[in-house]
Amino acid sequence: MATQRTLSIIKPDATRRNLTGAINKRFEEAGLAIVAQRRVRLTDAQARAFYAVHRERAFYDDLCAFMTSGPVVVQVLEGENAVEANRTIMGATNPANADAGTIRKDFGESVEANSVHGSDSPENAAIEIAFFFAETDIVG
Ligand code: CMP
């Protein structure tokens, strides 16, 4: 499997608890490099556009309100099989179902406040990375 990139977001529940460094340590210890990173406060329009794929879901409005409730850290992770590797490091969407030792098990508060987002496929990773970063922002 070749080197890949994936989009990661450290969510407001995690920035609120000052967990950015602890979460980044998990990525780096697992062999993923943080090749772009920016701390931002998403606007309502940005959150709605980023999560547009979920717009018919009952949780969409709450999800967008949560994602704009505090700072997030958007980042590009790079490494071998990065999309799947990051999904393993994050654990299941619902922290209650996540494996021991994963970010969501150790830090997640609920299915909504689950500390991190990660792209679910290489195709979506490319779309999500382009949503936040220009190619020149990414230094591998
Ligand atoms: P994320 O990987 O950011 O992608 C969509 C998010 O919706 C997901 O993580 C969850 O945090 C959030 N979400 C909130 N409620 C639900 C739910 N009932 N089922 C799935 N995802 C949910």
CB 47 within 8 A of CB 67: yes
Q: Which atom of ligand 1 is nearest to the CA of 54?
A: 5
Give the number of the atom of ligand 1 that is nearest the alpha carbon of residue 58. Answer: 18
Q: From the CB of 114, is ligand 1 less than 6 Å away?
A: yes
pTM of the model: 0.98
Confidence (pLDDT) at 2: 84
Ligand 1 contacts CB of residue 112 (under 6 A)? yes
Q: Residues 42-59: what's their mean pLDDT?
A: 98
Please say if 117 is a catalytic residue.
yes
* 88-122 per-residue burial string, b: 16 or more CB within 10 A, e: under 16: ebbbbbebeebeeebbbbbbbeeebbbbbbbbbee
60-104: per-residue pLDDT in tens? 999 999 999 999 999 999 999 999 999 999 999 999 999 999 999
Q: What is the mean pLDDT of residues 108-114?
A: 98
